[in-house]
Amino acid sequence: MRRRLTLVAAAATLGLTLAGCGGAAEKPAESAALPSEATGKVGVFTWWADGSEKVGLDALVGVFNKDYPNLTFDNLAVAGGAGSQAKSVLAAQLKAGNPPDSFQAHAGAELQDYIDAEQLEDLSSFYADNKLADQFPKDLVDRLTVDGKIYSVPSNIHRSNVVWANVEVLKKAGLDPAKPAENLDAWFADMDKIKATGKTPLAVAGSWTQVQLFENVLLSSLGVDGYNGLWDGKTDWKGADVTKAIEAYKKALSYTNSDRDSLSDWAPATQLVQDGAAAYNLMGDWAEAKFAQDGDKAGVDYTYFPMPGTQGVFNFLADSFTLPVGAPNPDGAKAWLTTIGSAEGQSAFNKAKGSIPANITAKTDDFSEYQKSAIKDFSQDKIVSSLAHGAAVPVAWLNDLSTAVSKFGGDGDVAALQESAAATAAKFAQ
């Protein structure tokens, strides 16, 4: 697995790879028409079915409709769970030989299972034709590249290690919203102060949101090298430092809302912060779009900062779109991918979504204060890959680890979670 996810060494090497990859036997079949000449429906499968995520999709579709008036966008969205429900539906459709024209996935290791199953077309020539490698950050292109090939076009860059906080709740607990804790111990001490006021210190939902909290506690506790080592085999899951990190995660859960497992997705947990029922919510920056669309003002109603202990680190994920093997309308799909990668499409989409453009030529002058700070941070911070959002490990690995984390939320058995995580790593990190 590690061999297959080896990153290309430099942009120049990538350019040569894209120009020359694949012989006749490996090259995907050429479509009959240019994207600009495509007609008919383009069925696009996402999990952006409602809320601020649907607003972002609508903005992107607006650009697509303008770019390709002869094509009709067919919204195949399936709601819920950061894509967990959607991925199950998609897997069944792909297995049945009924792929959409394009589907949403997280850039990075999540794509490996689709690649292994030969369900994705190689988009390397598409990148070369559209000069996309010159328009995306090198670090992102590296993370998209598998064995010298690229299989998806990213629509954005998200950050998962962001804490969103209610300004008034912090002030009532005697905390300065402008001076967040520097590490986990200090953050837990702040949560004790919040708890004493009768408020919930840390809002979280069920399923994947707990995995996201878990990954960021690991990152805070282990540091960049230790965290990355969990996925490439250099960090021992059975080590004492991992034990300490899991104990810290257990403590973090002790500050959360009692109904966490009944909240199936992220928005209700973020809403607890907006309503003043909770102080903090560790959430990806799609939360920024929710705050903005609900009329909340940064610095007045809410504030944000990197998870304590992860300052100077950007925990990365990116939504990306694919061309499935056997797509009913491959020319239409390429038209959709062209809009996805374009500066105009990315400006419209990311302004609404709360994320930042993958395309470095996109205009961002009217983006929010948070988004401008994220653009700056991505350019200078150390980048790591999100576990919960498919960037760090393939889907099967994530599913097994997610099951163990969910079980831990009920029994709090540190040794059992550590043993399960170690066994999962041994199973997949071959």
pLDDT by 10s per residue, the chain, length 430: 333 333 333 333 333 233 333 333 333 444 445 777 899 999 999 999 888 889 999 999 999 999 999 999 999 999 765 567 788 899 999 999 999 999 999 998 989 989 999 999 999 999 999 999 999 998 889 889 989 999 999 999 999 999 999 999 999 999 999 999 999 999 999 999 999 999 999 999 998 999 999 999 999 999 999 999 999 999 999 999 999 999 999 999 999 999 999 998 899 999 999 999 999 999 999 999 999 999 999 999 999 999 999 999 999 999 999 999 999 999 999 999 999 999 999 999 999 999 999 999 999 999 999 999 999 999 999 999 999 999 999 989 999 999 999 999 999 999 999 999 999 999 997 5
Conformational region of residue 179, where left means phi above 0, alpha means psi within -120 to 50, and beta covers everything else: beta
**How many alpha carbons lie under 13 Å from residue 225 in its C-beta half-sphere?**
2
- Amino acid 82: pLDDT: 56
DSSP secondary structure, 166-203, as one string: EHHHHHHTT--TTS--SSHHHHHHHHHHHHHTTSEEEE
- Amino acid 4: pLDDT: 36
DSSP state of 425: H
Tokens of 286: 């799609």
Tokens of 295: 């009329």
DSSP secondary structure, 10-52, as one string: -HHHHHHHHHH---TTTSPPPPSS-GGG--EEEEEE-S--SHH
Q: 303-316 burial, b if ≥16 CB within 10 A, otherwise e?
A: bbbbbbbbeebbbb
Q: Is 380 helix (H, G, I), strand (E, B) or coil?
A: helix
- Amino acid 81: pLDDT: 55
